Amino acid sequence: MKVLFLKKSWVVEPLGIAYLAAVLKKNGHEVDLLKIDNNGFMKELKEFKPDILAYSICTGEHKRFLEINREIKKEYSAISIFGGSHPTYFPEMVYEKGVDIIIRGEAEKSFIELLKDIQIKHSCDGIVNFRTLEQNIDRILFPDREFLYKYSENRNNPIKNVITSRGCRFSCGYCFNSIYRDFYKGENWVRYRSPGNVVKECIELKKYSLKLIWFQDDEILTNPRLYELLDLYKKEVDVPFHCQIRIEFLTKDIAKKLKDAGCISVTFAIESGNDYIRQEILDRKITKSKILEGSDILHRVGLKFRTENMCGIPNESLSQMLETLDLNIQCKPAIAWASIFTPYPRLPLGEYAKKNGFWDGSFSSIKETFFEDTVLNTTIKKEIVNLQRLFGFIVGFPVLRKIVLWLLGLPKNKIYDFIHLKWKRNRYKVLYEC
């Protein structure tokens, strides 16, 4: 069968659909990729003549993809299949106009089974539920890079993504992992690839434009074979890399090991500088002193770092948000990244926001990204958005902390939007500079 994946343009490589493309091709299916924000994608779609329209979507962007799917099906007849986190959590999506099938959970097995079923019966059931997880993830084919690099801007991007594990051992209340594992009760949820398997994929990436590998795992330091992976990577790959860590697990020895293997920078989440918000609301049991200690280790070892933070958390006051700003100023990251809290339905913190009257629970209010605006009922909406826009810039120029209340009190404006984007682009160049 001919399967067409439709995706919006990306910065971080969407490895999920590339994994699916690899297994679909191995099983004899023809696969292609279209970016929905490219002019003329409908013409390309009709030239490919797909049997299947495939979408992998998150909550927020589901509205745009549902509309696109409906528009396509006005002119072209094909079966539409939706997967990704949104259909996984909201299987009732199958009742939306134009949606034929949804697949829940990891889909390498279920997608192939589904297409066999369609070919045999020429019909299908609406919901494909979870399949047993592959425990030995070395058996999963590498992501199909030729599929992913159809477009020159992606093929020529010198930063390539690799993931060394599946699942996350943590359960932060604002993250999909907090309940995703519940769908797989009784199964080993966190699984790691062998160092040799990871390194083999990294070596294959050298045939493309490559200056930096970004390990896309939610957290890499808890990998039980981390040192073995780093030793083999240094010996066989020897390409600079970036990874995401939990700062509470960082020691000076680990930091030195990362640096020696080729790591040039890391990302870790602070989320909130207020102890109560961070530990009790967000369920991140880490102290402020540990965050500062880890930041100091990174500076002393010579690893650049990005911090991740949130503005506008339920029950968070303006003074508590400014604690997050102040903690970041103390940490001195290469870039202080900030998002606006979004109450995703059915996640613990989303349900908390709904129960306590911070949010009406409406899907229609959820933005496509968590950088746009706050949907919470709060008297400091303007301040939340303004702080998010100026967050990294003020951390970079802490002298502005003296006038931050005045800056946040101004109306939301395009100048702050410009500062936010310009500063972020500039600092990412620094973070990834080898």
Q: Provide the 10 A C-beta neighbour count for residue 402.
A: 8
The pLDDT value given to residue 233: 98
- In this prediction, residues 275-299 reach a mean pLDDT of 95
Q: Do 4 and 32 contact (CB within 8 A), yes or no? A: yes
- In this prediction, residues 42-68 reach a mean pLDDT of 93
- Of all residues in the chain, the percent with pLDDT exceeding 70 is 99
Per residue in 414-428, pLDDT (tens digit) is 999 999 999 999 999
Per residue in 326-340, pLDDT (tens digit) is 999 999 999 999 999
84-109: string of b/e by CB count within 10 Å (b at 16+)? bbbbbbbbebbebebbbbbbbbbbbb
Which residues, at least 6 apart from 343, have a Cβ–Cβ distance to it below 8 Å?
314, 349, 350, 353, 354, 358, 359, 366, 375, 376
d(CA 270, CA 334): 14
Pick from 19, 20, 23, 24: nearest CA to 2 = 24
The pLDDT value given to residue 40: 80
Burial class from Cβ neighbours inside 10 Å (0-12, 13-18, 19+) for residue 230 reads buried
The pLDDT value given to residue 31: 98
**Collapsing DSSP states into helix, strand and coil, what is residue 132?**
coil
Query: How distant, in Å, are the alpha carbons of 36, 57, 147, 364 from that of 420?
Result: 26, 26, 33, 26
- In this prediction, residues 64-75 reach a mean pLDDT of 94
Q: Which residue has the higher pLDDT, 430 or 119?
A: 430
- In this prediction, residues 316-334 reach a mean pLDDT of 98
Inform me whether the pLDDT recorded for 39 exceeds 80: no
Structure-token pair, residue 274: 């207020």
**Predicted structure pTM score:** 0.94
Per residue in 268-277, pLDDT (tens digit) is 999 999 999 9
Cross-strand bridge partners of residue 335: 306
Q: Rounded mean pLDDT of the chain? A: 94
With cut-offs at 50, 70 and 90, classify the pLDDT of residue 124: low
The pLDDT value given to residue 121: 65
With cut-offs at 50, 70 and 90, classify the pLDDT of residue 123: low
Pick from 386, 380, 298, 403: nearest CA to 338 = 386
Inform me whether the pLDDT recorded for 174 exceeds 90: no
Distance of CA 47 to the CA centre of its chain: 32
Query: What domains can be seen in the chain, in order of their start residue?
Result: 2-128 (3.40.50.280), 158-432 (3.80.30.20)
d(CA 359, CA 369): 17
Per residue in 346-362, pLDDT (tens digit) is 899 999 999 999 999 88
With cut-offs at 50, 70 and 90, classify the pLDDT of residue 122: low
The half-sphere exposure of 26 on its side-chain side, counting CA atoms within 13 A, is 15
